[in-house]
Amino acid sequence: MMGAEPVDLPPVARALIDRFSSREAKIGVVGLGYVGLPLAVALAQAGFEVIGVDLDPAKVEAVGRGESYVPDVPPKEVARLVQQGKLQASGSYAALGQASGISVSVPTPLRKTGDPDLSFILAAVQGLKSVIHEEMVIILESTTYPGTTRELVLPEVESTGLKAGVDVFLAFSPERVDPGRDDWTTRNTPKVVGGITPACTEVAAALYGQAIEKVVKVSSAEVAEMTKLLENTYRAVNIGLVNEMALMCERLGINVWEVVDAAATKPFGFMKFTPGPGLGGHCIPIDPLYLSWKLKSLKYNARFIELASEINTQMPRYVVQRVQDALNEAGKAVKGAKVLVVGVAYKPEVTDLRESPALDVMGLLREKGASVEYFDPHVPFVKHEGLDLRSAPSVVEAARQCDCAVIITHHRAIDYAALAEAAPLIFDTRNAMAAAGIRSPKVVRL
């Protein structure tokens, strides 16, 4: 909205902005997961009294004890804010009756049919209807398709008799959390904000501007919703491209990792993406499909998204085939082989298993008759669609017992030199061994 005309704010908006500037307003955060808890902490650090609402009693109780269950949020900081009365948690929406600003950060998964599951958003909006009042702003952060805020949330908000942009304010601001990072946090990652009306944008931006270093205002909620989908579609498509490059290089007998590193020396026109065993996490495998689904209703086929999804989804099966080939070269059948999966979280240094390709790899290996064990210093147990496993206590001891170790997640805490010495065969989907300076004929790379 650079160069946009000044917004003529209604009196209620001006009063609300003043309350944010003076920190007199109470703020509510609905959903205290990996997005909501860091946001609640950032707002409390900025001087607001923050009330988090979550339907999971374990999370509410943990916050009440001053504990953190999100690795990116220091427990000491939660304890300090709780002790100071700046942060509290509740399992009831009624606790938000005095709030002037509410951020909604609830999950938006895909159904098994590939359709968006907006049930968490709908439940949150229904829960909020009893506490919505004049001089309040509601900001949806949950990733969803363009139009959700206006088409789904707005009618429910205005069913209270309040007019958006006049009495109450509604906006969308996509979460941009990247778990496991300490360079880009909730506080210093620019925050995109788009409202239902220009006044809604101004009020939402005024709230976030108290706690976040840079707020980027856009012209509508739909622009903000689409911005998040572009960001993650960009990543999904480029990961799909480099994964297909890995498939091509394997057929050509070329080292794809050397190709990627060489291309990355170009100082312009190229951004480095690396291949891997598939996509994982709460965003990249899912968000582009929200956009694809929405466009199907407009009779448009999002071909890049569909193709990238097809390639990325097939990578776990490709990994298992390559493991089977590597075992065959070593004179062993995959059926009856002991396979150690090293790293099961969807990315390094996190505990999150959502959509992790390791789950598919382990399931496919078991279907082929392999005995599967895993080691992950961040994930003590795995329960998923027939898998019920606990992490091996020692990666070295487990490697000595296995026929093949498969590196899925490149955690820093893993001793790759010891792993290389202990395992008879290693299939490395992340180039972790080369990154550790290890060259061994026992290592087969993706």
pLDDT in tens, 373-383: 999 999 999 99
**Do 163 and 196 form a contact (C-beta atoms < 8 A)?**
no
> Could you tell me the domains of the chain?
11-219 (3.40.50.720), 235-445 (3.40.50.720)
Point out the residues that are catalytic. 283
d(CA 60, CA 53): 8
Report the residue count for the chain: 446
d(CA 299, CA 301): 7
d(CA 377, CA 379): 6
The β-bridge partners of 373 are 340
**Mean per-residue pLDDT, 104-115:** 85
pLDDT tens track for 189-236: 999 999 999 999 999 999 999 999 999 999 999 999 999 999 999 999
pLDDT of residue 290: 84
Residue 1 banded pLDDT, cuts 50, 70, 90:
low
pLDDT of residue 181: 81
pLDDT of residue 5: 63
Whole-model pTM: value is: 0.91
Which range, of 141-145, 213-217, 286-290, 339-343, averages the lowest pLDDT? 286-290
pLDDT of residue 294: 87
d(CA 311, CA 273): 15
pLDDT tens track for 358-410: 999 999 999 999 999 999 999 999 998 888 999 999 999 999 999 999 999 99
d(CA 56, CA 200): 30
pLDDT of residue 176: 92
Give how far Cα 141 sits from Cα of 60, 173, 177, 221, 278, Å: 20, 5, 11, 11, 26
Residue 282 banded pLDDT, cuts 50, 70, 90:
confident
Ramachandran area for residue 359 (φ above 0: left; ψ -120 to 50: alpha; else beta): alpha
pLDDT of residue 403: 97
pLDDT of residue 24: 94
